[in-house]
Structure 1
Amino acid sequence: MTSRQRILDNIALARHDAEHPLPKVPLFDDKAATTDLVSQFTQAVINMGGEVAALEGQSLAELVDKKTKDAKIICSHVEEIKGNFPLTPDTQPTDLKDVDFGIVRASFAVAETGSLCLTDSNFGINTLGYLPQHLIVLVDPADILFNLHNAYQRPEWREHGYAVFHTGPSATADIEGILIHGAQGVRSLLVILQPRQA
């Protein structure tokens, strides 16, 4: 009998065919009830290079018009805002390469990291979150979760073919530490806090 076989036999003898339930992982959200989730989320987005805006007396259309006034091509996948580049069943992912602004609504957001959960339903076409020069994301303040532990409990991860956390605009640095925005994704991210329509 070889040493290898002896080791494998000992492993087989020591193996127990019993149920071993996974440990319960805590959510680490004991401070969630006393945390201002909107403020924490806003600060996290700013820290990642994004911007957060509230409507503050103006309409959603007015705010978006201000931000997109110089844009030629706007692709919106939200009912509240009409763009001039409609997504159709024939639209190919690469067709969005010349889009100036993409507009989507997040399924939810995470206060801890400033992350946005975007699914295939939010995008229409997945490249809407990456090929436009700028991205505007609508977030319902009621959909802001405390931390990533809470986020992974959400059904989006099981119910969609595609779901991703999007955190801030694209930022890439070379070995000399020169930071470049937009090399591998959107150059800017604007999150607009706006409740879902009933």
Structure 2
Amino acid sequence: MTTVSSQSLAPAYSAKGLCRIVGVACVAGFIFDVLALVFPPALGNIEWRIALFQQISDRSIILLFGLALLMYGSLETRRLRKRLAIACLILGVLFNLACVLVIRDGLAFQERAVNTISAQASTLQNQIQAVQPGSKQGNVKVTPEDIQKASQALAQQADSLKQNTKTGIVKTSISSIGNLVIVGVALIGLGQYGTRSPKP
């Protein structure tokens, strides 16, 4: 009676097959995330565009990882490898071009936010200056020194708020641009790798 070894009954596992499964899951997850972020579209809204690009840049590493796994899983299939390589090249260029839009929107949003703060501070300054010295606010008599202190405090708070707003917008823009550039360059590299002819 012959015995069958347990090794011959074991299924043949393929690392490339597993990479294709995980790669498809990563790319599909990225696409669903982006579709959820895009709807409802508000292309004319600068805040919407900034938030969209920030979310895309935060999730872009998943796309890169998924495409790299798909590329590895399809190295033996020339046609699929070439298509993935072209998709990677196009996406890499688009990610790098998106940085220009992120910079433009960041600068425009910063200018608008600073102008809004300045306008509100100016309105409050006018209200402070309209208070007559010697008038009563509740039980307190207002002196010229009180008006001067309130005016200076408001100016300091407005300057601080402008600086914090600028810093926050710059940090967000740099983070988004950094992720988009890094992933864009990596996608271009991945695309170039996929277009090369395999070594004999």
Q: TM-score range by the shorter chain?
A: under 0.3
Q: Which structure shows the bigger proportion of residues in helix conformation?
A: 2
Task: Report the TM-score, using the length of structure 2 for normalisation.
Answer: 0.21
Structure index of larger Rg: 2
Larger RCO, structure (CA 8 Å, separation 6 or more): 2
Instruction: Return the structure number with greater strand share.
Output: 1
User: What is the TM-score normalised by the length of structure 1?
Assistant: 0.22
